[in-house]
Amino acid sequence: MRVCDVPSMTKYYALAVSTDYWKPNECYIEKIVTALEGKVEDGDFVVVSEKALAIAAGNILDESVIKPSLNAKFIAAFWMRVIWGYCLGVLCHFGPRLLRRLRAYPLESGSRHKQVALEQAGLLQALMFGSEGGIDGSNLAYSYVSLPLKASAALAVEIQKQILLRLKRKVCVLISDTDKTYEFRNFFFTPRPSPLKGIQSFGGFMAYLIGRVFKLKKSSTPLAVAGCTLLAAEALRITNIADRTRGPGSGATVWDMAARFRVNETSVTWEMLENVRHKPIVIVRRAQR
């Protein structure tokens, strides 16, 4: 296991568990239990990627069939290319490569994506530069995107119960998303809808701007916890450790994924994704004092 030090806090060990790629409508409970057998101990935190669960649960949408509205086309052509590419992206301290990508934001597929964001998450989320309302196209083939889980708390409970029943291990299950939560003193906030209790969700792209412009401390976002009681601060530490240990999979963004496979953003295939080492589960363990 990798040792993760948190200054002035508990020391944790973390182990990313590799599995095959979870395709839509697969039995993710079976895959989780099989992957954890012989690795997990009582008291461990088992952090599972929301993206992987959403894909396996079939909670995805094919954007190629979407007809964009004029509003979606305006967001793709002007808001993304000009406002994000030349103004907001600079304020948010984006690097040159990301700024170039935003200035060349795809008009056709981008308009369809923004239409989905408008319909599924609303205007303030659609004005984000990516992962609008938890909608994400990375680690997915063709024009598919994953939608956020609507019952993450119930799903965390079911995973925790199955681990106890089949592996006889009492663990704490967390479901997390790579979208960031920002911290200002003891106040935690995120643009991501439906985070864990104790984290405030508001403002869509405006919350993201505040966090990025002022370079606030950021962590991956916990969405649900089962099997233990965690305050938001510790849940954030655990999911952030898990995110760093897991890595970006096939790519942190759709652009990164496409660049890895040397194809355009809508030409990644399921077979390509199957050839990548995936780590949807991370075991995090408190060090013994």
Q: Dump pLDDT digits (tens) for 159-196.
A: 999 999 999 999 999 999 999 999 999 999 999 999 99
47 and 95 fall within a common domain: no
In this model, does residue 7 exceed pLDDT 90? no
For residue 242, give the CATH number of its domain. Answer: 3.30.1330.100
51 and 183 fall within a common domain: yes
Euclidean distance between CA atoms 182 and 215, whole angstroms: 9
Euclidean distance between CA atoms 183 and 236, whole angstroms: 10
177 and 260 fall within a common domain: yes
96 and 49 fall within a common domain: no
In this model, does residue 135 exceed pLDDT 70? yes
Q: pLDDT, tens digit, for every residue of 54-100? A: 999 999 999 999 999 999 999 999 999 999 999 999 999 999 999 99
Task: Provide the residue type at 64 as one letter.
Answer: S
| Of the residues 146, 175, 202, the one at which a domain ends | 146
78 and 44 fall within a common domain: no
47 and 24 fall within a common domain: yes
Residue at token pair 């989320």: 125
Rounded to an integer, the average pLDDT of 191-205 is 96
* Residue 133 belongs to domain spanning: 63-146
- Indicate the burial class of 161 (C-beta count within 10 angstroms; 0-12, 13-18, 19 or more): middle
How many domains is the chain partitioned into structurally? 2
In this model, does residue 222 exceed pLDDT 70? yes
Side-chain half-sphere exposure of 239, counting CA atoms within 13 A: 29
